[in-house]
Amino acid sequence: MENARNVDKLFKRKRWLLTLTYAGVMGCSLGLVGYVFDRIVTNLSYQLVQKEIVSVVNSIHDNIEYKLAIPGKIPAEMYDKISDLCPSYLNCQSQWKKKNHHETINADRYYANFLNNLGKSRAILGIYPNVPKNSLKSLEKLRWENFEDRSGKHYQQLTIEIHTPDNRVWGYLQVGRNLTDIQEYLGNIHLVLLCGIIAIGFIVAVASWYLAGLAMRPLSQSYQQMQQFTADAAHELRTPLATLQVIIENGRAEYQHLAPELTTWLDRVERQNIRIASLVNDLLFLSSLDRPDNKPILERCYLTEIVLDLVEEFAIPATAKSINLCSNIDEQVWIDSNSEQLYRMGANLIDNAIKYTPTGGEIAISLTQIMNDISFQVSDNGIGIADADQELIFNRFHRIESKSILPQHSTGLGLAIVKSIIDLHGGKLTVWSQIGKGSTFTVKLISSMKIE
């Protein structure tokens, strides 16, 4: 069950990864499109403002240039003809706001400032921004200017040189535009873009999650079919293997006296049959552990007795290899668990230790309890496990090959079963190992547990 949960978590992580990838690509694309659109709208808006200012400048310039006969001096008839033209020596801008007359220019947006050769203002159309007057040096260098007045309003201004009818320099004409309405318009565009991107981003995220689920569905189905196939195949093999074992036993009983040489051949067939049967049993056991609905039947188990039985069972194969099997087992260690599964876990760990410990080695088995924490440990001074293999030994069908010991008849499922059982019981398995010095497998369990 724990392995099934791990696989489910793996599929969920992959789905999230695909979702983030889809959403990230679409988000970057949407952001790029939004940025390009924003730049285009902004540039077009300011280009339109510049065209408007140039148009106002040309209109004023064409109407007054032929009347400016004396450099730096505005004729009196111009004030009569242009009623909203205000001499700079009069403070008429505040009163100008209250006047209700025909405007030469739109004073809410534009202003015009006439300056002599020295940069001194001579007359003003509209409301001039509350900023310091430009010096002559800056006027000579300036054509377009963007600035902010003391009240925080932004302006764009164009300065040109104007001449008398006899082509003498009369002075300068400044025409500017208040950018408040443009900035409000662009602000609304930004707000619409932001809300649109957020809304579309949410839709893209939901669609990405759905598409990632569709992409992962074949993999999930394939994995489930593989698990089902493994369980079905193993189950179907049990009957022919049992039948084969019966045939081997009958053949040995009936034909051994007629052909004694058949004994060796039948023994070989029987060994292979036992290996295959063991593999089938392991596969079936793993399949049962992997089922999501599998929950161990908990009972109060005397773990001390289980470990003592294991020591007694494996004392014979250990003695056959001249391996010293010692134990240190606490008394009265009880645990809420499935006794058959814990026995299988301990048997696999001890069996592995015997297989990979050379003749004359030593294996230590310990069971200790501190408060509610139980520790079961199997140590050996065998061949050890390389660091690279320590991450792989719990994978199914992974086996360690070593030149220092004979090839082992192993299915490669023993430690995978151990890991599944420990995960199912909410325990923790750690491994310490060094090449040539041996290995230590430590299982941490809780005396009283509740499987959810």
d(CA 287, CA 280): 10
Q: How confident is the model at residue 442 (pLDDT cuts 50, 70, 90)?
A: very high
| pTM of the complete model | 0.50
* Cβ proximity of 285 and 417 under 8 Å: yes
- Residues 267, 314 within the same domain: no
The owner of tokens 């940069």 is 119
Asked whether residue 201 is domain-assigned, the answer is: no
Structure confidence at residue 441 as a pLDDT band (50, 70, 90)? very high
Q: How far is CA 298 from CA 56, 284, 293, 344, in A?
A: 91, 21, 15, 15
Neighbouring C-beta atoms of residue 401, cutoff 10 Å: 8
Same domain, 303 and 441: yes
338 and 432 both lie in a single domain: yes
Same domain, 315 and 271: no
Output 99 or 197, whichever has higher pLDDT.
Answer: 197
Lowest mean pLDDT among 79-93, 248-262, 417-431: 248-262
pLDDT of residue 449: 53
**Residue ending a domain, choose from 269, 290, 311:** 290
User: Is 92 among the domain residues?
Assistant: yes
Q: Which residues contact 34 (CB under 8 A, 6 or more apart)?
A: 193, 196, 197
Does residue 275 sit in the same domain as residue 327? no
Query: Is 242 among the domain residues?
Result: yes
Q: Is there a single domain that holds both residue 286 and residue 307?
A: no
Number of Cβ atoms within 10 Å of the Cβ of 355: 19
Whether residue 40 has pLDDT greater than 90: yes
pLDDT of residue 91: 67
Q: Residue 199 falls within a domain, yes or no?
A: no
Total domains, the chain: 3
- In 3D space, the residue among 417, 393, 415 whose CA is nearest the CA of residue 401 turns out to be 393
For 18-46, give the DSSP string: HHHHHHHHHHHHHHHHHHHHHHHHHHHHH
Residue that terminates a domain, selected from 243, 260, 290: 290
Contact criterion met (CB below 8 Å) for 385 and 347? no
pLDDT of residue 76: 80
State whether residue 91 is helix, strand or coil. coil
Say if residue 442 is in the same domain as residue 311: yes
> What's residue 136's pLDDT?
46
pLDDT confidence tier of residue 43, bands split at 50, 70 and 90: very high
> Across residues 35-56, what is the average pLDDT?
91
Q: Which of 31-40, 212-221, 273-282 has the lowest mean pLDDT?
A: 273-282
Q: 63 in a domain, yes or no?
A: no
Q: Which residue has the higher pLDDT, 96 or 296?
A: 296
Residue with tokens 């999501």: 292
Which position has the higher pLDDT, 400 or 26? Answer: 26
Q: Are residues 362 and 233 in the same domain?
A: no
CA–CA dist 70, 244 (Å, integer): 125
For the chain, the average pLDDT equals 79
Range of the domain at 74: 68-178
pLDDT of residue 378: 92
| Same domain, yes or no: 277 and 320 | no
- Top pLDDT among 267 and 195 is at 195
Residue 294 pLDDT exceeds 80: no
pLDDT at 305 over 70: yes
Q: Supply the pLDDT for residue 135.
A: 46
254 plus 393 within the same structural domain: no
Cβ proximity of 350 and 366 under 8 Å:
no
- Residue 92 shares a structural domain with residue 151: yes
Instruction: Using alpha carbons, list the distances in angstroms from residue 173 to 103, 123, 252, 330, 388.
Output: 18, 10, 121, 103, 81
Looking from the CA of 266 toward its CB, the CA atoms found within 13 Å total 18
Tokens of 236: 């179907």
Q: What is the CATH number of the domain that holds 232?
A: 1.10.287.130
Tell me if 53 is assigned to some domain.
no
236 pLDDT tier (thresholds 50, 70, 90):
low
Domain boundary among 178, 204, 230: 178
Same domain? For 118 and 228 the reply is: no
3-state secondary structure of 163: strand
Range from 32-41, 203-212, 257-266, 440-449 that averages highest in pLDDT = 32-41
Name every residue whose Cβ is closer than 8 Å to that of residue 398 and which is 6 or more positions away in sequence: 389, 392, 412, 415, 416
Q: What is the pLDDT of residue 65?
A: 75
> Comparing C-alpha atoms, which of 279, 300, 293, 288 is closest to residue 420?
288
Q: What is the CATH number of the domain that holds 171?
A: 3.30.450
- What's the CATH number where 375 sits? 3.30.565.10
Taking CB atoms within 8 Å and a gap of at least 24, the contacts of 154-160 are: 154/178, 154/179, 154/180, 154/183, 155/129, 155/179, 156/46, 156/49, 156/50, 156/53, 157/53, 158/50, 158/53, 158/54, 158/57, 159/134, 160/57, 160/61
Residue scoring higher pLDDT (240 or 320):
320
pLDDT tens digits along 340-357:
888 888 988 998 888 888
Residue 49 has pLDDT above 70, yes or no: yes
Separation between Cα atoms, residue 31 and residue 183, nearest integer Å: 21
pLDDT tens per residue, range 141-192: 568 888 888 888 899 999 888 888 888 888 898 899 999 999 999 999 999 9
* Nearest residue to 134 via CA among 122, 142, 124: 142
For the segment 51-61, the average pLDDT, to the nearest whole number, is 88
Q: Is residue 19 part of a domain?
A: no
Examine residue 26 and state whether it is found in any structural domain, yes or no: no
Query: Any residues with CB less than 8 A from the CB of 228 and at least 6 apart, and which?
Result: none
Per-residue pLDDT reduced to its tens digit, 108-119: 788 888 888 888
Query: What mean pLDDT do residues 269-290 have?
Result: 66
CB 286 within 8 A of CB 413: yes
**Positive/negative CA dihedral, 402, 403, 405, 407:** positive
